[in-house]
Amino acid sequence: MQNDMARRLLAEFFGTFWLVFGGCGAAVISAGYPALGIGFLGVAFAFGLTVLTMAYAVGHISGGHFNPAVTVGLWFAGRCANKHVLPYIVVQVIGAVAAAAALYFIASGKPGWVAGGFASNGYGALSPGHYAVATCFATETLATFFFLFIIIGTTSKGAATGFAGLPIGLALTLIHLVTIPITNTSVNPARSTGPALFAGGDYVAQLWLFWLAPLLGAALAGLLCRILYESENIIDTIVVEERRVS
């Protein structure tokens, strides 16, 4: 049982690390080079690709959450055992901070490099488009709601087996394409926390929104999916999982 939990937590650590390093790395390093021309589109695909690749690499070990909002949303849907929720969230945040530290070290190796916002999320003056706090809160809540709705739907009984990573990765790409100008896209409290700690100041002060809004959106999606997929006998699924890992 302890070995199973350790494997799960390692999978979540590396999955979240890769998401922050790859997605934020594209924003911090590559998007600043006009010759590469990746822009918002490239950053959006970078985030989608991190989830897609890690979903297939370690998703079969931990479920491939890589995001506290996903863990909370799946718990509200009845698809995450109680004992996994807090350990997953803790290790996801640790993975995100570790990735941000590695990215900061690498990016700062360029002469004259300035961290700036360091791919952090923000509202008001820290929003890429200077969107108001209420707009940013609604955007993050709605985007996370649909992200969880897609995750739960594509991993439900009757969905195409073995292909969930593709629509989930593309969903995250689409979310970034819409919301980068608004909040720089979070939908993931761990992803927001890592870069903000290195950007400092007001970015840290605004973290509350990028925890509260994604968790709210995820919880609402989880509750809705309990009704939508009630025929799957979700509670029994948890009991089977508990027995398997005991």
Secondary structure letter of residue 119 according to DSSP? T
In this model, does residue 246 exceed pLDDT 50?
A: no
Residue 7 placed within a domain = yes
What is the rounded CA–CA span in Å between residue 85 and residue 182? 29
Residue 236, pLDDT score: 33
In this model, does residue 208 exceed pLDDT 70?
A: yes
Token pair recorded at residue 110: 């360029």
The C-alpha angle 139, 142, 144, rounded to 5 degrees, equals: 105
Count the domains in the chain. 1
Residue 189 placed within a domain = yes
Between residues 242 and 101, the one the model is more confident about: 101
Token pair recorded at residue 195: 């870069």
* CATH number reported for the structural domain that contains residue 188 in this entry: 1.20.1080.10
Residue 114 placed within a domain = no
Q: Which residue in the block uniquely carries the two structure tokens 């929003």?
A: 127
Residue 113 placed within a domain = no
What is the rounded CA–CA span in Å between residue 16 and residue 129? 27
Residue 37 placed within a domain = yes
Residue 54 placed within a domain = yes
Residue 11, pLDDT score: 97
Q: Tens of pLDDT along 180-198?
A: 999 999 999 999 999 999 9
Q: Tens of pLDDT along 51-62?
A: 999 999 999 999
Residue 2, pLDDT score: 74
Residue 17 placed within a domain = yes
48 lies in which domain range? 2-108+119-245
